[in-house]
Amino acid sequence: MRAQESLDFLKEKEREGLAKVGVRTVGELLQLFPKRYEDRRQFDAFPAQAGGDALCLRGIVIDSVQKRFGAKKGYYEVVLEEPGGGNVFGGGSLSCRWFNMPFVSKMVAVGHEVIVYGRVKDVGGRMVMEHPEFEIVEGGDSLHVDRVVPIYRGVSGLPQRKIRELMARLLEEVEPDSLMASYDVDGSYPRLEAFREIHFPDAIEQTEAARRRFALEEFFEMQVKVLWRRMRHDEQEGRSQGRKTTLLKEFYHSLPFDLTDAQKRSVKEVIDDMRSERAMNRLLQGDVGSGKTFVALCAMLMAVDSGNQAALMAPTQILAEQHWLTFCKWLEPLGVKVGLLTGARDEETENADILIGTHALIFDRAEFDRLSLVVIDEQHKFGVLQRGRLIQQGIAPDVLVMTATPIPRTLTLTIYGDLDVSVLDERPAGRGKIVTGVRVKPKVSEVTKFLKGELETGRQIYLVFPLVEESDSVKALSAVGEFPKWQKRLKDWEVELLHGKMAPEEKDAVMARFRANETQVLVATTVIEVGVDVPNANVMVIWNAERFGLAQLHQLRGRIGRGEHKSYCILSSDGKNGVEKLEVMAETNDGFKIAEADLILRGPGEVLGTIQSGLGELRFAEFLADVDMVREARRLADDVLKNDPLLEGHPLLRKIAEEGSAVMVA
Ligand code: ADP
Ligand code: MG
């Protein structure tokens, strides 16, 4: 039997059940790994108390009853007794209940020996398992008892025993050479052996080595995809630009401050890329406020100096607008024409040297036929997918992606593994300190007093709320609800409202007045989360701060501390819940540390979910726990591609690599 064969020897119903979980071949079935294991050499003792972890019990059914409430509803209950009979303390029996699952009564009956797995509840003084996983023990069967037994996810038409028997048979009959993966990442550990150990281990600990072998394979394929994409990108026809630096120098000398060393280093890396014949494909990674925009500006000026056009894609309209204002301020004196194109506005796009916009639609503009540089201000919002589109234009433009997402280096390797990376690891000098305080249910009068003090010295303030409007289902403050109250409390100053449900023109107008200090207080939602830059605003109060994730709080706080003034971030919490999380914000301002804490608090699934989705699902690997393997996988992938750049000797691997690239360009 070969791994590629279909499962024709199964009944149609069984095949259908497997197809539903994506299994069609022998090899795919072998990759249906157990979701957990039961050590059936040693069962748990019947409990005398409820609670605690799930237990795995073995018992004899001594009684059964079908309870009905009305025509359709009801439950089936069986009483289990520990083998050897109840003990003298009166323990040793337990009830199992299945609600509205009449078929169970046809499967479990008095006299059966069963294994159940679940949590134990106390129902009126009796020990009860509700909806336990269960299996009937049939004598003389070494696959299902008296050993470590695999438990699989449910497959319709195939009970656990049947799956186990199938697996055992496949492991026996499959030809080992047909099991070869796209590439053998570990010759000393045959795949067939790893499959055996994952399905029928002698001890549960044994499964980890096997899982890691498959995880390494998975990371390896991912790295091959990433490197393959990168090699294809490098083969594209690019252009050398940026030899002339008149504008760049002029701009540099017009700046009232010096660039940070990190900015200079990054600009140099960008210049080298742009001058090279191959298209630039670079990631500029820097925490909020590290000054990414100026690096982008330098790059764009070089494109213009070479007679070309440059575009900047921003994730939101407010940001596009803000970038446009910044660019106009610095570049108009140099005679460079900057256009703006958002859903709301279309400004001076005729003959623009630089175009700033919110959408990929800027690439479809006819007047933009000399486009040679694209800057993507990614800030979480654009995925890897959108980037692929750019590669499809005639001569590939130089691409610079900016991100403020602080992620560990190994993750960068994976998510942005096809890009060269420049890092801004330094904040511009002359910034005021940010003090962060966590307050549980602070007195509004005291907050007001503090805010008034800051307003009197001429500063501006953000008040951030989790909701736009009041809601019946979510108990939290809303911007619309609190706005009139703050207007009254701070009546000597101009207070305005800003949230995502407002019309685009209205948002622009509110931001413009805040920027111009015509408005001193913004009552806002997270619309201000990304990129907004008003250096005179130095206070942010975040209400119901416990409702935000750490990464989001970090982004929000990044809006202050942008000028020379000392800044204050007050995280107001509704109760004790989540205060621990908020304390992390008070302890550090370092995006990387916050990201790490976020990963620990929320778990990788939540945090990485969206990032990961761009690269396909991981079946065996765990992104964080297995991070050491990413490096190893990268090394392996590098080696393979160095020796066989077109993967001619590895057709299967090549297919995988090409599929990976296809996805990216779609
Ligand atoms: P981010 O990396 O968050 O996008 P920006 O590029 O928006 O950061 O810059 C944040 C603020 O810092 C802006 O007000 C900008 O004018 C200022 N800035 C950038 N670079 C420097 C520098 N080298 N020295 C002083 N201020 C700077
Ligand atoms: Mg920015």
**Ligand 1 atom 24 nearest Cα:** 428
CB atoms under 10 Å from CB of 102, counted, come to 13
Give me the pLDDT at residue 516, please: 94
Give me the pLDDT at residue 79, please: 93
With bands split at pLDDT 50, 70 and 90, how would you rate the model's confidence at 472?
A: confident
How does pLDDT run across 538-564, given as a tens digit for each residue?
999 999 999 988 888 988 998 998 888
Classify 550 as helix, strand or coil.
helix
How does pLDDT run across 142-161, given as a tens digit for each residue?
788 888 999 998 898 898 88
Is the CB of 289 inside a 6 Å radius of any atom of ligand 1? Answer: yes
Whole-prediction pTM = 0.68
Distance 463 CA to ligand 2 centre (A): 21
With bands split at pLDDT 50, 70 and 90, how would you rate the model's confidence at 363?
A: low
CA dist., res. 656 & res. 218, Å (int)? 11
Is the CB of 428 inside a 6 Å radius of any atom of ligand 1? Answer: yes
**Ligand 1 atom 19 nearest Cα:** 291
With bands split at pLDDT 50, 70 and 90, how would you rate the model's confidence at 386?
A: very low
Distance 533 CA to ligand 1 centre (A): 9
Distance 284 CA to ligand 1 centre (A): 14
How does pLDDT run across 616-662, given as a tens digit for each residue?
556 667 666 677 788 889 999 999 999 999 999 988 899 888 876 55
In the chain, what is the straight-line distance between the N-terminal and C-terminal CA atoms, in Å?
37
Contacts of 546 by beta carbon, 8 Å cutoff, 6+ apart? 573, 574, 575, 577, 578, 579, 581, 582
The domains spanning 43-146 and 246-424 adopt the same CATH topology:
no
Distance 562 CA to ligand 2 centre (A): 12
Contacts 24+ apart (CB under 8 A), 64-69: 64/105, 64/108, 64/109, 64/110, 66/105
Distance 292 CA to ligand 1 centre (A): 7
Q: Are 387 and 377 in contact (CB under 8 A)?
A: no
Is the CB of 481 inside a 6 Å radius of any atom of ligand 1? Answer: no
Written out in words, the top-level CATH class of the domain with range 246-424 is: alpha beta
Distance 624 CA to ligand 2 centre (A): 28
* Top mutation candidate among 254, 261, 297, 533 for ligand 1, by most atoms within 8 Å of CB: 533
Rounded to an integer, the average pLDDT of 404-425 is 74
Q: Is the pLDDT of residue 383 over 50?
A: no
Is the CB of 379 inside a 6 Å radius of any atom of ligand 1? Answer: no
Is the CB of 327 inside a 6 Å radius of any atom of ligand 1? Answer: no
Q: Are 291 and 428 in contact (CB under 8 A)?
A: yes
- What is the bridge-based pairing of β-strands 434-440 and 567-573? parallel
Contacts of 476 by beta carbon, 8 Å cutoff, 6+ apart? 465, 466, 467, 543, 544, 547, 574
Cross-strand bridge partners of residue 38: 149
With residue 118 as reference, give the H or E element that holds it: strand 113-118
**Cα dihedral 148, 153, 159, 164 sign:** negative
Give me the pLDDT at residue 427, please: 82
CA dist., res. 35 & res. 151, Å (int)? 6
Give me the pLDDT at residue 91, please: 53
How does pLDDT run across 77-112, given as a tens digit for each residue?
999 998 765 555 555 889 999 998 888 888 899 989
Distance 299 CA to ligand 2 centre (A): 15
**Ligand 1 atom 17 nearest Cα:** 291
Distance 541 CA to ligand 2 centre (A): 21
CA dist., res. 63 & res. 97, Å (int)? 12
Indicate the DSSP class of residue 362: G
CA quadruple 28, 30, 32, 35: dihedral, nearest 10:
-170
Q: Is the pLDDT of residue 29 over 90?
A: yes
Structural domain boundaries in the chain: 1-41+152-177, 43-146, 246-424, 442-574
Angle at 22 between CA 20 and CA 24, to 5 degrees: 100
Pick the CATH number of 442-574 from 3.40.50.300, 3.40.50.1110, 3.40.50.1220, 3.40.50.720: 3.40.50.300
**Which atom of ligand 1 is nearest to 293's Cα?**
6
User: For the residues of 201-258, what is the DSSP string, one character each?
Assistant: -SSTTHHHHHHHHHHHHHHHHHHHHHHHHHHHHHHS---------HHHHHHHHH-SSP
How does pLDDT run across 367-381, given as a tens digit for each residue?
677 889 989 886 544
CA dist., res. 239 & res. 219, Å (int)? 33
pLDDT, greater one: 178 or 485: 485
Rounded to an integer, the average pLDDT of 518-545 is 90
Is the CB of 292 inside a 6 Å radius of any atom of ligand 1? Answer: yes
Distance 312 CA to ligand 2 centre (A): 12
**Which atom of ligand 1 is nearest to 377's Cα?**
4
How does pLDDT run across 106-143, given as a tens digit for each residue?
889 998 989 999 999 998 888 999 999 888 887 666 78
Distance 505 CA to ligand 1 centre (A): 26
* Top mutation candidate among 293, 316, 324, 528 for ligand 1, by most atoms within 8 Å of CB: 293
**Ligand 1 atom 23 nearest Cα:** 259
Is the CB of 263 inside a 6 Å radius of any atom of ligand 1? Answer: yes
- Closest by CA to 462, choosing from 568, 348, 590, 319, is 568
Is the CB of 559 inside a 6 Å radius of any atom of ligand 1? Answer: no
Distance 345 CA to ligand 1 centre (A): 25
Rounded to an integer, the average pLDDT of 17-40 is 91
- What is the bridge-based pairing of β-strands 338-341 and 346-347? antiparallel
CA dist., res. 334 & res. 643, Å (int)? 49
Is the CB of 191 inside a 6 Å radius of any atom of ligand 1? Answer: no
Q: Are 546 and 520 in contact (CB under 8 A)?
A: no
**Ligand 1 atom 12 nearest Cα:** 291
Contacts of 229 by beta carbon, 8 Å cutoff, 6+ apart? 418, 660, 661, 664
Tokens representing residue 150 in the block: 């695999």
- Closest by CA to 308, choosing from 368, 245, 266, is 368
Is the CB of 197 inside a 6 Å radius of any atom of ligand 1? Answer: no
pLDDT, greater one: 267 or 343: 267
Distance 533 CA to ligand 2 centre (A): 8
Rounded to an integer, the average pLDDT of 479-491 is 96
CA dist., res. 303 & res. 370, Å (int)? 10
Q: Residue 430 region, left (φ>0) first, then alpha (ψ -120 to 50), else beta? A: left
Distance 431 CA to ligand 1 centre (A): 10
CA dist., res. 445 & res. 457, Å (int)? 19
* Top mutation candidate among 294, 431, 562 for ligand 1, by most atoms within 8 Å of CB: 294
Is the CB of 285 inside a 6 Å radius of any atom of ligand 1? Answer: no
- What is the bridge-based pairing of β-strands 521-524 and 495-498? parallel
CA dist., res. 311 & res. 355, Å (int)? 5
Give me the pLDDT at residue 663, please: 44
How does pLDDT run across 214-233, given as a tens digit for each residue?
889 888 988 888 888 888 87
Is the CB of 199 inside a 6 Å radius of any atom of ligand 1? Answer: no
Give me the pLDDT at residue 661, please: 56
**Ligand 1 atom 16 nearest Cα:** 291
Q: Are 605 and 618 in contact (CB under 8 A)?
A: no
Query: CATH 2.40.50.140: does it fit domain 43-146?
Result: yes
Give me the pLDDT at residue 364, please: 64
Is the CB of 260 inside a 6 Å radius of any atom of ligand 1? Answer: yes
